[in-house]
Amino acid sequence: MNTTHESGMGDRLAELRLRRKMTQEQLAERAGLSVDVVRKLEQGRRNSARLSTINALASALDTEPSYLVGQPTTFAVHDAEDGLPSVLALREAVSPVAELFGGDIDPEDPPTIEELRKSLRSTESIRKEGRMGEIGLLLPQLIRDARAVVHASTGSDRAAANSVLAVAYQVAATTLTGLGKEDAAFTAMERSLGAIRECDDPGLETMAASTLSWVFTRQGRLADAERVALARAEKIEPGFRSAPRDLALWGILLLRAATAAVRQEKQTTVTDLMRLAKGAAESMGEDRLVYATPFGPTNTGIANVNFLVEMEKADEAIAAARTIPNLASLPPTWRARFQVDRALAYNDLGKDRAAGRALLLAEADAPEWMRYHSTSRRLVEELRGRASRADTEVLGLAARLGLAG
């Protein structure tokens, strides 16, 4: 995949500002930012803007954050011999014509429930490792298979198939959002909620709220993202003797709400939510994976680092990063995101070499994920712009991410 873009974030920002007939001063005022920030971004002197800054600019310009950051919009070329991952195929699986006008759902014999569950487990494992291309290959067929089993089954089998279908739609939502297709992701979430109403797993409604909150966050609908997560969190709030799984589900929602809050610069809200999340994590004692999503002391710790970076507290973020327990227990994509946050903090402190080393650790954990992660790509571009020709590590990383030289 050639994931480079003809213009950088600064060019897109300036082009859209001029289209809206706004001066830099007017944009800064509407976004609640300094003119210096707008000017530096447009001139390319800054690439690694805070996500709160990007959201504020996107809102002021009436666009989505993914447009400003230049989110990759299609899958990488895959090495497998059995086909190429396709955004179109994923769209067709999420929104099939047969659902609108009738017709044969799937002419082939549907798989068994156990075969369906096995396919889902395989997809979730690939997802945790950030292997986007393989997800793009496998997910459309999983959705079609699950939908076929739903239509061919009754009773408990139909409920079980709907559970698989609900999760598959949520994976589709996160995948499409990662490619900047937030509207298609919302459709996938609507489909997931429909399947949840007929499934046999009550926990999926909580995970749907978490996923929908994330989709809204990526759309720049931060208030909606916070509201969705908090509404569900209040509904399932656990007690002192609740099971670790219930604490984990609640904690995941708290972190989602805090993510939306920090990008709205609501520091008091973030502090309150993190206090509750840390309490739940400490009660659990160790991280648990719930529907392929971790929660516990480790993931709460790396979330805290992320929030400190967003609040421009780089020194505190670096100090907090040194205290994270049992980092190896988390899935590769979570570890990679943590290393990117470390890199952002080091970049804020003017420590380019340390930032570069952190990015290389992120790449080692989830190399394919890095190619789709817009924050990583912007930061690498910024470091490359300051790097000497002798800095082969940063230049090599930029090349591997497909960034134009």
Other CB atoms within 10 Å distance of the CB of residue 328: 6
Taking the domains of the chain in order of start, what are their residue ranges?
1-71, 77-201, 221-317, 331-405
Quick one: tokens of 402? 């497909």
Which portions of the chain are predicted below pLDDT 70?
1-7, 46-48, 76-83, 100-108, 404-405
- What does the DSSP assignment read for 276-302? HHHHHHHHH-S-EEETTEEESHHHHHH
pLDDT of residue 4: 37
Q: How far apart are alpha carbons 388 and 83 in whole angstroms?
A: 40
Question: Quick one: DSSP state of residue 63?
Answer: S
Q: How far apart are alpha carbons 348 and 313 in whole angstroms?
A: 9
Q: How far apart are alpha carbons 64 and 112 in whole angstroms?
A: 41
- Count Cβ atoms within 10 A of the Cβ of residue 392 and give its class: 0-12 exposed, 13-18 middle, 19 or more buried: exposed
Inter-residue contact 134 to 85 (CB < 8 Å): yes
Quick one: tokens of 221? 């609908």
Q: Residue 376: which region, alpha, beta or left (left: phi > 0; alpha: psi -120 to 50)?
A: alpha
Q: How far is CA 237 from CA 172, 297, 314, 331, in A?
A: 28, 18, 32, 26
Place of tokens 């903090």: 345
pLDDT of residue 58: 87
pLDDT of residue 100: 66
Q: What is the pLDDT of residues 5-51, one digit of tens each?
A: 345 788 888 888 998 899 999 999 999 988 888 888 888 776 667 77
For domain 1-71, the CATH class is mainly alpha
pTM above 0.95, yes or no: no
- Count Cβ atoms within 10 A of the Cβ of residue 34 and give its class: 0-12 exposed, 13-18 middle, 19 or more buried: exposed
Q: What is the pLDDT of residues 253-274, one digit of tens each?
A: 999 999 999 999 999 999 999 9
